[in-house]
Amino acid sequence: MKRLLTFTLLFALATGMAWAQNEKYTKAMTDGINALMAIDRSKPDAKSLQDIGNRFERIAAAEPKEWLPKYYAAYTNVLLGFVGATLTEKDQYLDKANALLKDAETIAGKPNDELEVLKAYQSQIHLAADPMNRWQNDGEKFQGFLQAAKSLNAENPRIYFLEGSSLFYTPDEYGGGKKVAKPILEKAQQKFNAYKPETAIHPDWGKMETEWMLSQTN
């Protein structure tokens, strides 16, 4: 009986510690995500994005078995790749995002549609940094990553957001434009309206940008 009571006490203590650690992790992630979502998307501040990216890297160091901190650190660096002051600076951020995504894949341990989507986004921003020299290589990567994401989860709305945004910003003479992008963006909007992330800290970005682009097509 004494041994059983000791085991029960130790089990309860271990469970309580794990629960507290999980709550701490979830709160840290939620605070970081809220700070990221509060950034002005029309004119992101590089310093604020760097601070948020560093925050997610610290969470990743404290929680080495969780792939989401690396994912959000990568996402933040993709955004920095868009706002970097020079091509060299943009590429440094995008290379870092790529390395973080590889780490996240290793931790996740299996194919993941959100990681494939973010790899596509990284390729899209890498292309946009130097389109004349990168359109062919990055364009193929972009399409390949999105196809991989579709094969894993065709209901992910960020797939269609990226497809639509690619067409939205492609000149009409190259097969893009607002008119061509509109039905894809409408599909993205429908997917966003039906979408529910796995947890409160799983990816849930892109809806606001989709709605803005749609407003520009009317």
| C-alpha dist (Å) from residue 115 to 63, 94, 97, 125, 152 | 18, 15, 11, 15, 11
* pTM assigned to the model: 0.89
CATH ID of 24-132, from 1.20.140.10, 1.25.40.10, 3.40.640.10, 3.40.1410.10 = 1.25.40.10
From first to last of the 218 residues of the chain, give the pLDDT tens digit. Answer: 555 444 444 444 444 444 456 899 999 999 999 999 998 877 788 999 999 999 999 999 999 999 999 999 999 999 999 999 999 999 999 999 999 999 999 999 998 999 999 999 999 999 999 999 999 999 999 999 999 999 999 999 999 999 999 999 999 998 999 999 999 999 999 999 999 999 999 999 999 999 999 999 98
Asked if 123 contacts 142 with a C-beta cutoff of 8 angstroms, the reply is yes
Closest by Cα among 172, 168, 201 to 34: 201
**Cα distance between residue 82 and residue 77, in whole Å:** 9
| C-alpha dist (Å) from residue 54 to 42, 114, 215, 217 | 22, 21, 34, 37
